[in-house]
Amino acid sequence: MVVALLLACITVLFLLEQRRTQGEMGAILSAFFSDHVLRNIQDQVAGAGREIQIVVVRESQNPWDSEILRRSLLFDRQSSFSQSSFTTQVSFFLSNLLSTNIQTELHLPSSAQWFFINWRELKVDGTKPIDFQTRLPNNFGYFVVSHAGLNLGKTEAILYVDHFCGGLCGGGEYFLMRKANGVWHVVDQHIAWIS
């Protein structure tokens, strides 16, 4: 009975936290992709006249599916960012207890398009990855993001992002973001893995 009550309380906290943080996800992800990702790849496409395609997996990063993320969330002090508030850290943990779809729109510069895809779109028959290069030829791999954890004032966020850029190319990082003058910015980051 006590275990059932505890699970019910955790489920309610998870749902409330997802609802509380959902409204900021679009702004957080838009700022992350605009400032952090696009700035890093602009040099690669400068002068080529290429439109940049940002591909994001709709299903959020589930910390319980990945050994690296599970280890990081529970035991890696880097995921907690010593300069972040305890509320932000707890919110990040609660928001990512279960994997749910990212339900938001992105607002990116006109030189970039964004696409949400499902995991099943990355698989042809469940075993072989499709070559989405033909469908989205100007992509730079694909991203899998967590839900953001926010402080009570919604001015600080923790986000986890995996980037898979083909073959053995990829990496995962935690990002600490802060909102200043209504705009989100990455203020710190910690690498969880790199290939």
Give the total residue count for the chain. Answer: 195
Model pLDDT, residue 67: 47
| 123, 109 Cβ separation under 8 angstroms | no
Helix or strand (DSSP H, E) at 31: helix 2-31
- Where are the chain's structural domains? 2-194
* Rounded mean pLDDT for each run of 10 residues along the chain, 195 residues in total: 80 76 86 82 59 80 52 54 88 81 84 81 57 72 88 92 82 92 93 86
Q: What global pTM score does this model have? A: 0.81
Distance in angstroms (rounded) separating the CA atoms of residues 155 and 176: 11
- In sequence order, what are the beta bridge partners of 74? none
3-state class (DSSP) for residue 127: coil
The token pair at 3 is 């275990």
| Confidence (pLDDT) at 187 | 94
Number of Cβ within a 10 Å radius of residue 119: 10
DSSP character at residue 118: -
CB 157 within 8 A of CB 149: yes
